Structure 1
């Protein structure tokens, strides 16, 4: 019907097809909007694909959203993620991640108070901290966790794109807050530089933990 609009009278066409004139114009209006939406979607898909390819397939929806916003194309992360899903664009790791922390450093290391005894008689006696990495829609992220060795439950965690002292401090801070800042809890971790850093020692300061008596690193 639309293709004959310029050749025939609208009233006559509406009568022939058994629709009202107002209904016909309503259909034209919404069809036009649908065409515009599809055109905008295709334009966005092209920009998302270009940004994804320019990162060599490493950037996820959040980073692509920021890049497009910087170039004057503002869309929320959910819209970018939907575009990536339509195009089957899955980010890959930007670099090879290490599962373990770096123990080759010259920072002071606390004594090992746990002595390989990973059993606890009550909650908040012994915690264990570690760092691993997980694959997400945003690419690889480091995950720091604090586990209560009594219940084996995660009591604190933090994620970031970099393995820093802030990563482990945030996980410890969450655990302390969620457990009401318990006193004299032993926090066991490896000798990684993140756990031996001044920032981490400050994070487990006297107001939280006594690092000389409570926090240990193997």
Structure 2
């Protein structure tokens, strides 16, 4: 609303609106149109504020990880339609942002001196029987005391984490310890395939020796191809997004 319209609105209790419009050389219809527009703008602002409150609650409940897509899905799941572009605008105006997955960065280089195991998975990340095909990887998570390295093994039949280990380094020990936990829980079939990338943790002598001791079969993807271990990489991406590490 312009200054002239604000002046008329403020003085209409003291003078007739028609007189004020004539003195200011303004049509009465223009004043009433502006008045109606101001009411509509206030109604839209009130609706945006209510939507922003709902978005904030959902965003905080997701540990500040949900972006426009997931925020938009929640009202639709409850049977209420909200325009996606409107949600994006409200989040942008209030600087509400979700976490994004960053480009994958390899944790450790392969051991070029070691002969890698063959790829027994060949990107077939399915298994009918538990304990026959496992995929694993190691990643890093930020903590108040520095980087925490987490290794895990995932059963492709159940999609459950069957073994894990943590350490303040990413040498061979976390991968071996996670494998020992998996074996200790039982359920591994003879000749179970243990698949990973060609990082130095998995081509190391201690890890390969432990594979032989447990009578398992080692499998490794190609160098520099994250898709050869996509099931494990996807698990890390989802875990980091849910806990909000944003790395």
Larger Rg over CA atoms = 2
CA distance in 2, matches of 1:123, 1:197: 27
Aligned to 2:209: 202
Equivalent position of 1:68 in the other structure: none
What CA distance in whole angstroms lies between the structure 2 residues aligned with 1:163 and 1:179?
A: 25
How big is each residue's C-alpha offset from its partner over 1:109-151, in whole Å with a ceiling of 9 and x where there is no partner?
0011111100001101110010111123432111010000111
Q: Distance in 1 between matches of 2:205 and 2:180?
A: 15
CA distance in 2, matches of 1:181, 1:128: 13
Task: Give 3-state SS (helix, strand or coil) of 2:202's partner.
Answer: helix
CA drift at 1:106: 1.5
Over 3 Å counting, the alpha-carbon distance change for 1:181 and 1:116 in structure 2 is: closer
- Give the alignment partner of residue 183 of structure 1, picking from 186, 190, 195: 190
> Quick check: 1:146–1:156 contact (8 Å CA) kept in 2?
yes
Matched residue count: 117
Aligned to 2:139: 132
Aligned pairs (5 A) from 1:160-171: 160-171=167-178
Give the gaps of 5 or more residues in structure 2. 1-104, 222-247
1:148 to 2:151 alignment: no
CA RMSD of aligned residues (A): 1.6
- 2: CA distance between counterparts of 1:170 and 1:104? 20
Find the aligned partners of 1:144 and 1:167 in 2 and give their Cα distance.
6
Matched, 1:193 2:224: no
CA distance in 1, matches of 2:154, 2:191: 16
- Give the 3-state SS of the residue equivalent to 2:207 in structure 1: helix
CA distance in 1, matches of 2:128, 2:188: 18
SS at match of 1:159: strand
1:158 aligned to 157, 165, 183, which one? 165
Alignment-derived partner of residue 127 in structure 2: 120
Find the residue that maps to 1:142 and give its secondary structure.
strand
Instruction: Give distance in 1, aligned partners of 2:189 and 2:145.
Output: 35
The question of whether the paired residues in 2 share the 8 Å contact of 1:158 and 1:171 is answered with yes
Partner of 2:113: 106
1:217 aligns with 2:224: no
Alpha-carbon separation, structure 2, partners of 1:183 and 1:102: 30
Are the structure 2 counterparts of residues 203 and 104 from structure 1 closer, same or farther at C-alpha, using a change threshold of 3 Å?
Answer: closer
Match of 1:194, SS state, is: coil
CA deviation map 1:125-184 (0-9, x unaligned)? 110010111123432111010000111111111111110011110011111111245311
